[in-house]
Amino acid sequence: MSVASRDQIAIDAVGVARRFGARWVLRGVDLQVRPGEMVGLLGANGSGKSTLLRILGTLLKPSAGGATIYGHDVVKSPDEVRRQIGFLAHTPGLYDDLTARENLQFAASMLGLENAKLDEALDRVGLGGVRNERVRGFSAGMQRRLSMARLLLRNARVLLLDEPYSNLDVAGISLMNELIGESVKGGGAALVVLHELAPAAAVLDRTVTIREGRIDEPDGAALDAANFAVAGEG
């Protein structure tokens, strides 16, 4: 694939492998996600879904293979990649002793967004009424919503989301889908690690499954079939 064409692909992973000690978690993952696509990443526990996401998010280096985000290499140009992505980890990663607004203010400062619409983002995720309360008193669902608000601040072209629906209520799930949908419709792309397909089934374009460290269904099986396969593993 030429460099020019890689620039047009949101996520392009080729032969990504990663080992921890002697154990190979990923054994050569090939995956492409195009702009405007929302892809669900499925697999059993320990199959390497989060590892792949962390490699794409520049948090881990691959042991072999490589990946690009809009043409930017995750190993050679990690800072460029970080400018393109919005990463939602499994844990919310918030500061308990800061208020909801202060958490966003810190994120905005780190991102260089001097005119960030913090209150607007908090209102959007339904936390406007508790903006000045410390995160320590928030439920897991509220913390997840605040992580969503933090994601809203940056205009990310690629969303890398690790189990984004965990701890969210029905309204929260709907809001999450709305936010992902808006990003994808605006030309962005999303790769979403899922344990359950149901919350995202209505908005996913396709799913891929990791099995034994490799993508098992690279071209996207029908959602129902993928859901069945995952349920079968559980």
Partner 1 sequence: MSAHEDWRRVRAIVWKDLTTEGRSKAGFNSVAALGVTILVLFGFALGPDAQALRDAAAGALWLAVLFAGVLAFNRSYQVELESGALEPLLLYPGARWTIFVGKLFANLIFVGLMLVIVTLVGIVLFQVTIPPSWPKLIAVLALGTIGLVSLGTFYAAMASRSRAREVLLPLLLFPMLVPVLLAAMQASKVLLNGDMMHEAGAWMSMLMAYDVIFVVAPLLAFEHVIEV
Residue type, 23: R
Chosen residue from 89, 173, 175, 203 binding partner 1 by CB under 8 A: 89
Toward partner 1, which CB reaches closer, 56 or 127? 56
User: Which range of residues in 87-95, 169-177, 197-205, 224-232 is near partner 1 by CB under 8 A?
Assistant: 87-95
User: Which range of residues in 93-101, 180-188, 201-209, 223-231 is near partner 1 by CB under 8 A?
Assistant: 93-101
Site string for partner 1, 127-166 (x = CB under 8 A): -------x---------------x----------------
| DSSP structural state of residue 221 | B
Toward partner 1, which CB reaches closer, 56 or 176? 56
Per CB under 8 A, 60 contacts partner 1? yes
Beta-sheet pairing, 214-215 with 206-211: antiparallel
What is the rounded distance in angstroms from the CA atom of residue 122 to the CA atom of residue 232?
39
Strand partners, 214: 211
Per CB under 8 A, 109 contacts partner 1? yes
Chosen residue from 44, 59, 201, 203 binding partner 1 by CB under 8 A: 59
Who's near 80: CB < 8 A, 6+ residues apart?
A: 72
- Strands, E, within 44-197: which ranges? 64-69, 72-73, 85-88, 158-162, 189-193
* Helix, coil or strand: residue 215: strand
Q: What are the phi and psi torsion angles at 42 (to 5°)?
A: -110, 165
Closest distance of CB 83 from partner 1, Å: 5
Enumerate binding residues for partner 1 (CB under 8 A). 54, 57-61, 79-80, 82-83, 85, 87, 89-98, 102, 106-107, 109-112, 134, 150
